[in-house]
Amino acid sequence: MKTRHFITVADLTPEGTLALFDEAEALKQRLSRGVHERCLADKSLVMIFEKASSRTRLSFEIGMTQLGGHAVYVGMLDERLGERESVPDAARVVSGYADGVMLRTYAHGTVMEFAKPSSVPVINGRSDYNHPCQALTDLFTIREKLGNLKKIKLAYVGAGNNVARSLAWACYRRGMRFAIASPKGYELGDRLIKKVRNLTPESGGTISKLRDPHKAVRGADVVYTDVWASMGQEDEAAERRKIFRDYQVNARLLDAAGKGALVMHCLPAHRGDEITGDVIDGKQSIVFDQAENRMHLQKGILKMLLG
């Protein structure tokens, strides 16, 4: 049987995604009553990080513990996967020990290369192409706050990066309206949009690309942003700070969206750059619920793939 991986949001069917949301919600409710479901007793998850992380590491590690299993952290922050031994060799060795692997890499190709020979499920914990655990958590959080996702408008302000790609993909598949405002040269790629539309042509979702952030947020139910320079783009940070200056999520931009709009950010945030402190700490922000939900949603993924 083919090993099931979770590498992009398309690895789950739309029905599978709803089942995952229901599972995550049930796990969250049970945890709030102090009930730990130990469905992964004696199971091990290896977590390999080429890059820094707080949320992804902690939410997976504590999530595994709560499900009765165990997580092993492998930090490769000074080295890339494939330097000491080939990626496929590492994958075959690790899958001989563990019941699942979570990878945070620089290149998306590394996740693909690892998954191919792996005999256990591989979960993408962020690559330069995608951040699927984040995007599904975000939709789970919106559903928790607003109910049915269909026709909800999410306005993303910033670069067409890994988080934007996964969100556009996930929103489109759920029949949501995804609008992204980016400066010239930093837009969401048309190839991705075409792929997403071809994969789920009947979803009822829309993806629109705009230049003006004020226009993008008009009528939005959710305003979302992420850092201007992602991990691995640190040397472009100063230049991007100038280019993205008009793409800050601040009180004025939020006024254009309206009082009912929720504010989201995957974190870590650079307060004063892509988002202001008053907005992140303000009444419309659900940023910290979003961060907490990483654990509940990923417990659902772990249960589904390793259980």
CB of 54 to ligand CP, least distance (A): 4
**Which one among 74, 76, 107, 267 touches ligand CP, defined by CB under 6 A?**
267
Catalytic residue among 55, 131, 173, 265: 131
Active site residue 265: no
Q: Left, alpha or beta for 297 (phi > 0: left; psi -120 to 50: alpha)? A: alpha
Is the N-terminal amide bond of 121 cis, ω within 30° of 0?
A: no
Residues 6+ apart with CB under 8 A from 76: 48, 49, 50
* Contact partner, 105, from ligand CP, ligand NVA, none, Cβ < 5-8 Å per class: none
Distances (CA, A) of 226 to 22, 136, 280: 27, 16, 12
Catalytic residue among 126, 177, 266, 296: 266
Contact residues for ligand NVA (CB under 6 A)?
Answer: 126, 131, 161-163, 226-227, 230-231, 266
Using an 8 Å Cβ cutoff, are 206 and 216 in contact? no
CB of 237 to ligand CP, least distance (A): 16
CB of 123 to ligand NVA, least distance (A): 15
Per CB under 6 A, which region of 14-22, 29-37, 53-61, 115-123 contacts ligand CP? 53-61
The residues facing 70 across adjacent strands are 44
Strands (DSSP E) found in 112-212: 122-124, 153-157, 177-181, 206-210
Kindly determine how many residues on this chain lie close enough to bind ligand CP according to the rule CB under 6 A.
9
* Contact partner, 54, from ligand NVA, ligand CP, none, Cβ < 5-8 Å per class: ligand CP
Measured between its terminal Cα atoms, the distance across the chain in Å is 16
Per CB under 6 A, which region of 64-72, 93-101, 213-221, 265-273 contacts ligand CP? 265-273
**Which one among 168, 170, 266, 295 touches ligand CP, defined by CB under 6 A?**
266
Residues 6+ apart with CB under 8 A from 305: 4, 5, 6, 100, 121, 123
Nearer to ligand NVA, 161 or 284 (CB): 161
Residues that are catalytic:
104, 131, 134, 226, 266, 294
* Contact footprint for ligand CP (CB under 6 A): 53-56, 126, 134, 266-268
